Structure 1
Amino acid sequence: MESGRCGGFRASAAAGLLLLLALTGCGAPGNGTYDAGAPPAASAAPSSTTPEATPTRTATAPAPPKTKAPGAAKAPAAVVRPVLPRSKPKALEIPSVGLRTELIHLGLRPNRSLEVPEDTGNGAPASWYDGSPTPGERGPSVILGHVNALGGNKGVFADLRSLNPGADIKVTRADGSTAVFTVERGALYGKDSFPTLEVYGNTAGAELRLITCDGYDPATGLFDDNYVIYAKLKA
Structure 2
Amino acid sequence: MTTKNPGRCGRLLAPTAAGVLLLLSLAGCAAGTTDAGPAPAGSFAASASATSTAAPSPAAAAPSPAAPAAVPPAQQLPPVMGASAPVTLSIPTIGVRTDLLHLGLRENGSLEVPQDTGSGAPASWYNGSPTPGERGPSVILGHVNALGGNTGVFADLRKLTPGTEIDVTRTDGSVVVFTVDRGATYSKTGFPTLEVYGNTPGAELRLITCDGYDPATGLFDDNYVIYAKLKP
Q: TM-score, normalised by structure 1?
A: 0.75
Question: Measured at CA, do residues 90 and 20 of structure 1 come closer, stay the same or move farther in structure 2, by a change above 3 Å?
Answer: farther
Asked if 2 retains the 8 angstrom alpha-carbon contact of 1:28 and 1:192, the reply is: no
5+ long unaligned stretches in structure 2: 30-36, 40-55
Asked if 2 retains the 8 angstrom alpha-carbon contact of 1:148 and 1:158, the reply is: yes
Question: Measured at CA, do residues 69 and 115 of structure 1 come closer, stay the same or move farther in structure 2, by a change above 3 Å?
Answer: closer
**Which residue is 1:63 aligned to?**
none
The reply on whether 1:215 has 2:212 as its aligned counterpart is: yes
Runs of 4+ in 1 over 3 A off after TM superposition: 8-14, 16-29, 36-41, 72-79
RMSD: 3.1
1:17 maps to a residue whose letter is A
Question: Measured at CA, do residues 196 and 69 of structure 1 come closer, stay the same or move farther in structure 2, by a change above 3 Å?
Answer: closer
The reply on whether 1:196 has 2:193 as its aligned counterpart is: yes
Looking at structure 1, the residues matched to 104 and 225 of structure 2 have their Cα atoms a distance apart, in angstroms, of 19
Looking at structure 1, the residues matched to 131 and 85 of structure 2 have their Cα atoms a distance apart, in angstroms, of 6
Looking at structure 1, the residues matched to 170 and 201 of structure 2 have their Cα atoms a distance apart, in angstroms, of 21
Tell me which of 74, 85, 90 is aligned to 2:87.
Answer: 90
Tell me which of 91, 101, 106 is aligned to 1:104.
Answer: 101
Looking at structure 1, the residues matched to 182 and 131 of structure 2 have their Cα atoms a distance apart, in angstroms, of 21
**Which residue is 2:4 aligned to?**
2
**Which residue is 1:55 aligned to?**
none
Looking at structure 2, the residues matched to 38 and 69 of structure 1 have their Cα atoms a distance apart, in angstroms, of 13
**Which residue is 1:56 aligned to?**
none
**Which residue is 1:48 aligned to?**
none
1:97-136 alignment to 2 at 5 Å?
A: 97-136=94-133
Q: How many residues align?
A: 202
Question: Measured at CA, do residues 97 and 38 of structure 1 come closer, stay the same or move farther in structure 2, by a change above 3 Å?
Answer: closer
Instruction: Calculate percent identity across the aligned residue pairs.
Output: 65
Task: Give 1:38 deviation, angstroms.
Answer: 7.9
Looking at structure 2, the residues matched to 234 and 216 of structure 1 have their Cα atoms a distance apart, in angstroms, of 33
Looking at structure 1, the residues matched to 230 and 220 of structure 2 have their Cα atoms a distance apart, in angstroms, of 30
- What whole-Å deviation, never above 9, does each CA across 1:169-227 have from its counterpart, x for those lacking one? 00000000001000000000011110000000000000000000000011111100000
Asked if 1 retains the 8 angstrom alpha-carbon contact of 2:11 and 2:38, the reply is: no
- What whole-Å deviation, never above 9, does each CA across 1:126-153 have from its counterpart, x for those lacking one? 0000000000000000000000001010
- What whole-Å deviation, never above 9, does each CA across 1:95-134 have from its counterpart, x for those lacking one? 1111100000100011111111111001000000000000
Tell me which of 164, 168, 180 is aligned to 1:171.
Answer: 168
Question: Measured at CA, do residues 178 and 28 of structure 1 come closer, stay the same or move farther in structure 2, by a change above 3 Å?
Answer: closer
The reply on whether 1:141 has 2:138 as its aligned counterpart is: yes
Q: TM-score, normalised by structure 2?
A: 0.76
5+ long unaligned stretches in structure 1: 30-35, 44-67
Looking at structure 1, the residues matched to 38 and 129 of structure 2 have their Cα atoms a distance apart, in angstroms, of 19
Higher helix share: 2
Task: Give 1:82 deviation, angstroms.
Answer: 2.1
Asked if 2 retains the 8 angstrom alpha-carbon contact of 1:89 and 1:135, the reply is: yes
**Which residue is 1:50 aligned to?**
none
